[in-house]
């Protein structure tokens, strides 16, 4: 009888151990040990040109639905998930500022981040308008699982007919072509988007091919919808 009880207890202990192991593996697949969403680019570093935007956009709705306040330490980035915190360091004077990503942009080729007026003032770059910076992702304050897909913005048009014409040219070669309408301070625009990617490397490869084929200046964007 004692031998049977011992075997039963051993079986129960093995079952608990297996269940704990499975739960641990599921947790690893769903999120990182630090609490970031799976695939979140904490520690990501970029170097390039920063610009800033201010009075002409103050009070407008940002890409995450907030009201843009140029006096807050925020920024626009094309691919970092909304709610990312990034430390931006000027490579010309060494000044630093930490900003929260709440908008999409910049839409100029060769620029990596669009800072609020307050953030630009912290880096002493408002006079020049742009600055060479290093950007480092340091934290995340967004919603879990809200990373969205990456898409390639092939072009942006003021006329809907032009956007639809380009979309028709793209569809035979590229799946998931869409035209979306956005209202900007400069007026309404129709953006032509291609693809649905989970890595920037994949998206950039398609962007390079589109640039050669159609003589456009495509940008990789994260689709937050």
Strand 149-157 versus strand 219-223 pairing type: antiparallel
Question: Are the beta carbons of 149 and 197 closer than 8 angstroms?
Answer: yes
Class of the CATH-defined domain 45-140: mainly beta
The tens digit of pLDDT for each residue in 102-122 reads 999 998 888 999 999 999 999
**Cα–Cα dist 158/151, whole Å:** 20
> CA–CA distance from 3 to each of 7, 8, 9 (Å)?
6, 9, 10
Question: Are the beta carbons of 80 and 220 closer than 8 angstroms?
Answer: no
**pLDDT greater at residue 180 or residue 22:** 180
Give pTM, 2 decimals: 0.79
Domain ranges for the chain, please list them: 45-140, 149-223
The full length of the chain comes to 225
Q: Which CATH superfamily is domain 149-223 in?
A: Sporulation related repeat (3.30.70.1070)
């Amino acid at each position: 009888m004692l031998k049977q009880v011992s075997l039963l207890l051993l079986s129960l202990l093995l079952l608990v151990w297996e269940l704990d192991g499975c739960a641990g593996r599921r947790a690893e697949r769903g999120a990182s040990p630090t609490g970031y969403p799976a695939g979140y680019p904490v520690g990501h570093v970029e170097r390039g040109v920063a610009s800033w935007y201010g009075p002409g956009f103050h009070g407008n709705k940002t890409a995450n639905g907030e009201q843009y306040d140029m006096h807050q330490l925020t920024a626009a980035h094309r691919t970092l998930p909304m709610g990312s915190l990034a430390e931006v360091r000027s490579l010309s004077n060494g000044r630093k500022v930490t900003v929260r990503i709440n908008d999409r942009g910049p839409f100029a080729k060769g620029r990596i981040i669009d800072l609020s007026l307050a953030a630009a003032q912290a880096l002493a770059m408002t006079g020049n308008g742009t600055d060479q910076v290093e950007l480092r992702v340091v934290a995340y304050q967004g919603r879990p699982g809200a990373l969205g897909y990456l898409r390639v913005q092939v072009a942006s048009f003021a006329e809907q007919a032009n956007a639809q014409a380009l979309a028709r040219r793209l569809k035979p070669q590229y799946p998931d072509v869409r035209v979306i309408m956005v209202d900007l301070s400069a007026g309404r625009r129709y953006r032509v988007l291609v693809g649905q990617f989970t890595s920037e490397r994949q998206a950039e490869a398609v962007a390079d091919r589109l640039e050669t084929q159609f003589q456009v200046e495509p940008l990789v964007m994260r689709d937050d919808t």
